[in-house]
């Protein structure tokens, strides 16, 4: 964000600075979302327990950049005109998908605190599992936005797919019929 501000002050954002800032905030929201989702596999693969403490903060940074992305679009493209904004959301599929991702992300940011975790109990975890839907929506938003060079969104899509597969492979699975013990894959279990 500081780098973008510095470039804006220096007049180094090109012919369409609003478009550059809109794209940069969207790119950073997606990058941070991928980083946030990578923290749990890093803990599992390498035993880095400290990564878990970063998840909430990283998720809130995702929301910060997604909010900036949305607000720049809303302010610069629609001048706070709700009717114009809704027409754009309804007419352009990539905006519909991006807006949906932002709407689903908002409750996650609002409930990223200890009080909400206690208050919602098990429902908190279920709510925060919607981050996978957000990831898919964000990737689709980026793919549909791009008009010619699909390399960057496809790289992000591959990283997202790897992270989702890693999560599937790292989930506990039931073994045996009598004890129904839950073990991690690739863990030796003495019977």
Domain boundaries, the chain: 2-183
Chain-centroid distance of CA 41 in Å reads 16
Gap between the Cα atoms of 29 and 139, Å rounded: 11
CA 1, CA 3: separation in Å to the nearest integer?
5
Contact yes or no for 116/124 (Cβ under 8 A): yes
- Torsional sign, CA 177, 181, 183, 189: negative
Q: Please, what is the Cα angle at 9 between 8 and 10, to 5 degrees?
A: 90
Q: CB within 8 A of 164, min separation 6: which ones?
A: 132, 135
Determine the Cα–Cα distance for residues 145 and 135; give it in Å rounded to an integer: 15
Cα dihedral 12→13→14→17 (10° resolution): -150
Closest CA to 62 of 96, 94, 3, 105: 105
What tens-digit pLDDT sequence spans the chain (191 residues)? 888 887 777 788 778 888 888 889 999 999 999 999 999 888 888 888 888 888 889 999 999 999 999 999 999 888 888 898 899 888 999 999 999 999 999 999 999 888 988 898 888 888 888 899 999 999 999 999 988 888 999 999 999 999 988 877 665 555 544 444 444 444 444 43
Please, what is the Cα angle at 70 between 65 and 76, to 5 degrees?
120
Element (H, E) at 96: helix 93-110
Which pTM was predicted? 0.81
All residues at 6 or more sequence positions from 51 whose CB lies less than 8 Å from its CB, including other chains: 39, 40, 42, 43
What pLDDT is attached to residue 168? 78
């Amino acid at each position: 964000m500081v780098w973008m501000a510095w470039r804006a002050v220096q007049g180094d954002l090109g012919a369409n600075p609003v478009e550059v800032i809109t794209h940069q905030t969207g790119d950073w929201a997606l990058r941070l979302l991928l980083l946030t989702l990578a923290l749990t596999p890093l803990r599992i693969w390498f035993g880095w327990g400290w990564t878990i403490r970063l998840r909430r903060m990283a998720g809130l940074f995702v929301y910060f950049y997604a909010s900036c992305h949305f607000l720049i679009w809303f302010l610069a493209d629609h001048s706070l005109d709700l009717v114009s904004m809704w027409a754009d959301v309804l007419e352009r599929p990539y905006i519909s998908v991006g807006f949906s991702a932002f709407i689903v992300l908002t409750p996650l940011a609002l409930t990223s605190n200890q009080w909400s975790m206690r208050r919602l109990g098990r429902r908190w975890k279920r709510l925060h599992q919607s981050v996978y839907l957000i990831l898919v929506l964000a990737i689709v938003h980026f793919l549909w936005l791009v008009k010619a060079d699909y390399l960057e969104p496809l790289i992000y899509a591959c990283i997202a797919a790897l992270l989702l597969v890693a999560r599937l492979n790292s989930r506990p699975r039931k073994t045996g019929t009598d004890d129904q013990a839950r073990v991690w894959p690739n863990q030796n279990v003495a019977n």
